[in-house]
Amino acid sequence: MTKLKNDTLIRALLREPVPYTPTWLMRQAGRYLPEYNQTRARAGNFLALCKNPDLATEVTLQPLARYPLDAAIVFSDILTIPDAMGLGLYFAEGEGPKFERPLREEWAIRDLTAPDPADHLRYVLDTVSQARRALAGSVPLIGFSGSPFTLACYMIEGGGSSDFASVKKMLYQRPDLLHHILNVNASAVTAYLNAQIEAGAQVVMVFDTWGGMLSHAAFHEFSLAYTARIVAGLKREHDGVRVPTIVFTKGGGGWLEDIAAIGCDAVGLDWTIDIGAARARVGTRVALQGNLDPAILLSSPEAIQREAGAILASYGRGNGHVFNLGHGISQHTPPENVAALLETVRGASASYH
Amino acid sequence: MTKLKNDTLIRALLREPVPYTPTWLMRQAGRYLPEYNQTRARAGNFLALCKNPDLATEVTLQPLARYPLDAAIVFSDILTIPDAMGLGLYFAEGEGPKFERPLREEWAIRDLTAPDPADHLRYVLDTVSQARRALAGSVPLIGFSGSPFTLACYMIEGGGSSDFASVKKMLYQRPDLLHHILNVNASAVTAYLNAQIEAGAQVVMVFDTWGGMLSHAAFHEFSLAYTARIVAGLKREHDGVRVPTIVFTKGGGGWLEDIAAIGCDAVGLDWTIDIGAARARVGTRVALQGNLDPAILLSSPEAIQREAGAILASYGRGNGHVFNLGHGISQHTPPENVAALLETVRGASASYH
């Protein structure tokens, strides 16, 4: 494989010196880009786009043609695994993800098995390989998955929810069943991320979107323990090159030290925590990724400059910062505001390195 | 006024010794109770019920007829103030609160004035007086309001939202306008809570439901600063008796020390923080109220006993704990599970006092 021309992301994740703070944006290939919407229309819908490696590769590269980003992230969805398990992922227009066959019965839960990524998730691995080739070493490619708990939330509830009452009911009333689901999910995510690494992903990230709605004790038992098992089971090197891992728990600011202790290289932060305070808490154990409120991208270039500058200043001098949003970019973001953000970070961050 | 027969809540809020941990539940008069649904049907709808002091008093007392609760909370809504400002509060069936005339234009924002509670919020004050009389000193009556920021969220957005994008856009692009709204709201809430105290509320609570979705810096500037102004402006005594204040920021676990420093007597906690860790952080500055995940009440008496016991044990021995949920009770809660919770806390907490 070609040597990376821009390896600032990898180096920042490993807390090595970099000339500026590398930046990528969660959901950077998405609906705020007119060219994305055109490709999606050609595919028919979001899921068809995910499952078409040619078109998924195309949209993976789109934001890099526009912006000086320091990474690409494979275009996919966090819920590919339960879909491969046979739960039937679909997206109703204007709504979030849904499953045709959510886990409602004990027999269905007991029947659950981890899918072989080479079989049912082939389309993701093909996208990873194609995107890696197309990038030609310009910037690293990030692979990802939802966390075992976040997958379980959608698998049990059958879709998004404001309180995930069914999940929590199972958690407190039948913890054995939830642990069974989480066990299967953890094996599935480990195999899936390792397959992405073998297919060409140079960084992998676990998205724990819903761990933050758990109690302190439940988060540790039902979310973090399984993410830790994944991190322990990941290939840390491929072709002789380190493959850094990022763990992001939305709403996980209270458990930062615990997340930083599971062996990942970097911890993603949402925008509710001051990144300087977070850095003081984790010390030199991990790099930190974040943490601009994506809503700031809906405002003006002046506000973006001020708020991005405040994050760089709060992190301060030294290694280990990857700039990102604290959550996925909004579909209503004016593309020129993304340009303003990236210009600001690239320019203003040099003085901290 | 009659002397309180059960003043455990007041004493716990003031960190004085109590024989057991007093308990009340956010939204304890609500849809999980069949008798509540009957009264609501008689009123016509939720808002009509809020605006009818006779029926609002009736539902305020309903949970006390069933359960050994240590407080009543006046039946009302957090959005009465913007309704009194003329924004036109309504509840579409199966949806959250909405405003007919949200704040969309600068002139409307500049025109905003704090309503005189004795005039446009008379119905709430009447409910407070009637409920206080009806309680006849059995337990204290809690009055409440939404926080200035939380009110502003609904006033600007016109209803609930998953990301409150309009609010945040204003926050970053026109902070002067948002500050103007928050100034008016802070004056309005202060006058409203003081009027509730004069009408008979023996404790007051500020609900900052949405402060937790702000960045660290924005929370301090746009939410906490205004809640602090309210706390500073509240009557702390009425009829020679102390009136304790509780401040609850959902998702505010990261800012606990800062919230505890604004002069309130107690801080409400959601369920994501370990209450023992929270106690270690705030020391003896404030009492703590919380923090059972309301979803636990959907499970079984055994799980409720275990989880409530864990919270009591985590807080540990000594003064300053008020047991509550970490958010409002779910409408799907089986009423017998509430009985199991209250029995557990009353029985198990004595050994910590």
**Could you tell me if residue A48 is inside a domain?**
yes
Which of B27, B215, B329 has the highest number of chain A CBs within 10 A, making it the mutation to test binding with A?
Answer: B215
What is the pLDDT of chain B when averaged over all its residues?
A: 97
Can you spell out the DSSP letters for A31-51? TTSHHHHHHHHHHSSHHHHHT
Q: Does the annotation count B279 as an active-site position?
A: no
**Could you tell me if residue A159 is inside a domain?**
yes
| Interface contact A156, partner B, CB < 8 A | no
Q: Give B162's pLDDT tier (boundaries 50, 70, 90).
A: confident
Q: What is the pTM of this model?
A: 0.96
- Taking one residue from A and the other from B, the number of pairs with CB-CB distance under 8 angstroms is 96
Q: What is the pLDDT of residues B33-45, one digit of tens each?
A: 999 999 999 999 9
**Residue contact A296–B168, C-beta within 8 A:** yes
- pLDDT above 80 for A1: no
With beta carbons under 8 A apart, name residues in chain A contacting B214: 272, 293
Q: Give A167's pLDDT tier (boundaries 50, 70, 90).
A: very high
Strands A237-238 and A241-242: what pairing?
antiparallel
**Could you tell me if residue A296 is inside a domain?**
no
With beta carbons under 8 A apart, name residues in chain A contacting B212: 272
| Interface contact B212, partner A, CB < 8 A | yes
Q: What is d(CA A251, CA A288) in angstroms, rounded to the nearest whole number?
A: 15
Q: Give A63's pLDDT tier (boundaries 50, 70, 90).
A: very high
Q: Which residues, other chains included, contact B174 with Cβ-Cβ below 8 Å and sequence gap of 6+? A: none
| Residues 267-306 of chain B whose Cβ lies under 8 A from any Cβ of chain A | 271-274, 277, 293, 295-296, 298-300, 303
Using alpha carbons, select from A228, A250, A5, A64 the residue that is nearest to residue A150: A250
In angstroms, what separates the C-alpha of B137 from chain A's closest C-alpha? 35
**Residue contact B272–A332, C-beta within 8 A:** no
**Could you tell me if residue A255 is inside a domain?**
yes
Question: Nearest CB to A298: which of B169, B273, B332?
Answer: B169
Averaged pLDDT for residues B249-271: 98
First vs last Cα of chain B: how many Å apart?
A: 29
* Domain residue limits at B226: 8-352
**Could you tell me if residue A321 is inside a domain?**
no
**Residue contact B273–A251, C-beta within 8 A:** no
Report residue B339 as tokens: 């009985």
Question: Can you tell me which residue has the tokens 């957005």?
Answer: B157
Q: Which residues, other chains included, contact A123 with Cβ-Cβ below 8 Å and sequence gap of 6+? A: A50, A51, A52, A53, A56
Return the beta strands (E) in chain A as ranges: 72-73, 89-91, 97-99, 141-146, 203-208, 237-238, 241-242, 245-249, 266-268, 287-292, 321-325
Question: Nearest CB to A254: which of B219, B253, B303?
Answer: B253
| Interface contact A168, partner B, CB < 8 A | yes
> Of the given ranges (A91-95, B82-86, B145-149), which has the lowest mean pLDDT?
A91-95
Report residue B35 as tokens: 């008798």
**Residue contact A212–B254, C-beta within 8 A:** no
Q: What is d(CA B91, CA B65) in angstroms, rounded to the nearest whole number?
A: 28
Q: What is d(CA B59, CA B49) in angstroms, rounded to the nearest whole number?
A: 9
**Residue contact A172–B218, C-beta within 8 A:** no
What is the pLDDT of chain A when averaged over all its residues?
A: 97
Q: What is the ipTM of this complex?
A: 0.93
Question: Can you tell me which residue has the tokens 């020390």?
Answer: B257
> Of the given ranges (A58-62, B88-92, B212-216), which has the lowest mean pLDDT?
B88-92
Strand partners for B267: B247, B288
**Could you tell me if residue B2 is inside a domain?**
no
Q: Does the annotation count B236 as an active-site position?
A: no
In angstroms, what separates the C-alpha of B236 from chain A's closest C-alpha? 32
With beta carbons under 8 A apart, name residues in chain B contacting A272: 212-216, 219, 251, 254
Higher-confidence position of A197 and B3: A197
**Residue contact B251–A272, C-beta within 8 A:** yes
- pLDDT above 70 for B185: yes
The CATH number given to whatever domain includes residue B297 is 3.20.20.210
Report residue A187 as tokens: 């094996």
Handedness of CA B188, B191, B197, B199 (dihedral sign): negative
Which of A157, A161, A173, A216 has the highest number of chain B CBs within 10 A, making it the mutation to test binding with B?
Answer: A216
Identify whether the C-beta of residue B89 lies closer than 8 Å to the C-beta of residue B97. yes
**Could you tell me if residue B287 is inside a domain?**
yes
Q: What is d(CA B166, CA A233) in angstroms, rounded to the nearest whole number?
A: 43
Question: Nearest CB to A298: which of B168, B213, B300?
Answer: B168
Report residue A204 as tokens: 């992998």
3 state SS of B76: coil
Q: Please give the tally of structural domains in chain B.
A: 1
| Interface contact A218, partner B, CB < 8 A | yes
In angstroms, what separates the C-alpha of A239 from chain B's closest C-alpha? 40
Q: What is d(CA B256, CA A6) in angstroms, rounded to the nearest whole number?
A: 41
Residue type, B152: A
**Could you tell me if residue B245 is inside a domain?**
yes
Q: What is d(CA A316, CA B75) in angstroms, rounded to the nearest whole number?
A: 49
Averaged pLDDT for residues B133-157: 98
Which of A149, A215, A325 has the highest number of chain B CBs within 10 A, making it the mutation to test binding with B?
Answer: A215
How confident is the model at residue B301, as a pLDDT? 97
Q: What is d(CA B51, CA B124) in angstroms, rounded to the nearest whole number?
A: 7
Helices (H) and strands (E) in chain A, counts: 17, 11
Q: What is the pLDDT of residues A230-257, one digit of tens each?
A: 999 999 999 999 999 999 999 999 999 9
How confident is the model at residue A294, as a pLDDT? 97
Q: Which of B31, B281, B285, B346 is catalytic?
A: B31
**Residue contact A273–B216, C-beta within 8 A:** yes
- pLDDT above 80 for B93: no
Q: Which residues, other chains included, contact B309 with Cβ-Cβ below 8 Å and sequence gap of 6+? A: B344, B348
Strand partners for A142: A73, A203
How confident is the model at residue B95, as a pLDDT? 80
Q: What is the pLDDT of residues B310-319, one digit of tens each?
A: 999 999 999 9
| Interface contact B215, partner A, CB < 8 A | yes
